[in-house]
Amino acid sequence: MALGPETIAWCDNFKYLGISFRSGPRLYVDTDVTKRKFFTACNSIFGNCHSTNELVQLQLLESYWFPLLQYAMCALRLTAIQRADLNSCWNNVYRRIFNFRKFDSVALLIRGLG
């Protein structure tokens, strides 16, 4: 592709304001990068907070790492599958902190904690 005398290289993905996009028939928000950053950040908390209270761990994750998962998501058009996938990431944090099994529902726990 050319713009005047300059050639513009075609790319399959790009990053704008910290959000990754993939090209295709439609512009697609790449949530895999967001999830990877979120779990990397969560593992740093879990690795350094072995003996702390569960509520303290949850507060740390909500304060510092939950914004990584939420950043600009309200301004983007995500599919229902992508929204469910990001919600699943946060539910996995609850499962890990409170020692739930993979298929246990955390909805009552979340409502109980407010």
Q: At residue 8, what is the residue type?
A: I
The pTM of the whole model exceeds 0.75: no
Q: At residue 25, what is the residue type?
A: P
Residue 28 predicted with pLDDT over 70: yes
Give the C-alpha separation, 55 to 63, whole Å.
12
Give the C-alpha separation, 80 to 67, whole Å.
20
Q: Are 82 and 31 in contact (CB under 8 A)?
A: yes
Residues 6+ apart with CB under 8 A from 106: 91, 94, 95, 98, 100
Q: Are 14 and 5 in contact (CB under 8 A)?
A: no
Residue 25 is given by DSSP the state: S
**Predicted pLDDT at 97:** 82
As a whole number, mean pLDDT of residues 60-67 equals 79
Beta-carbon count within 10 A of 19 CB: 17
Residue of 81 and 100 predicted with greater confidence: 81
